[in-house]
Structure 1
């Protein structure tokens, strides 16, 4: 596990060397730093690297978090990476359903799950 960003309201870490993981209250204040930190990490990965996004630890669903997710998806495409899985919290899944953004996620699998453990 490698910590990329630690804020009072949210953290971004790499789990299992390939999973960008957000925990906390990712909102408009933290969205920019989260997007930037994730984008930089993705840019450092070799082409064809398989990556995943885990947002099951996001406590508040907002359009700001969806913006972070879309920035990361563009980075995956720009750097010729492979997006394997996107795991969403139930609140984020509902927001994704309402906004009909799921088709924009080129993941092999998009799942909705409760966080596996409390990471904070």
Structure 2
């Protein structure tokens, strides 16, 4: 595990060697630093490296988090990396569905947090 950014409201770390992971409240105050730290790390990876994004510990869904995600996706493309997986919290997945941004993720797999059961009707 490598800590890239630590703030009161959010942290960004690399786990398992290639998974950018946000924990906490990624909001408008933290979005810029999170995007920049992730972009910097992605830019330092060799071309063709497989990377993943884990946002399952982001409890609050906001457009700020989606902006961070899109900055990272552009960085993946710019540096010829391969985005293998994007894991989203349920609130982020709902927001992604509402905004119809899912098709912009060039990941092989986009999932929700696995420990959350679907809501009952």
TM-score (norm 2): 0.94
Say if 1:90 and 1:114, in contact at 8 Å, map to a contact too: no
5+ long unaligned stretches in structure 1: 116-120
Which structure 2 segments of 5+ residues have no match? 116-121
What is the aligned-residue RMSD (CA, Å)? 1.2
Which structure has the greater CA radius of gyration? 2
C-alpha displacement of 1:114: 4.8
Tell me the distance in 2 between the aligned counterparts of 1:9 and 1:59. Answer: 11
Q: 2:30 maps to which residue?
A: 30
Counterpart residue number, 1:107: 107
Distance 1:60 1:13 in 2: 18
CA 1:28–1:114: 2 relative to 1, 3 Å: farther
Number of paired residues? 116
Residue 73 (structure 2) aligns with: 73
* Equivalent in the alignment of 1:43: 43
Q: 2:21 & 2:91 partners in 1: Cα distance? A: 16
Aligned to 2:16: 16
Residue 83 of structure 1 aligns with which residue?
A: 83
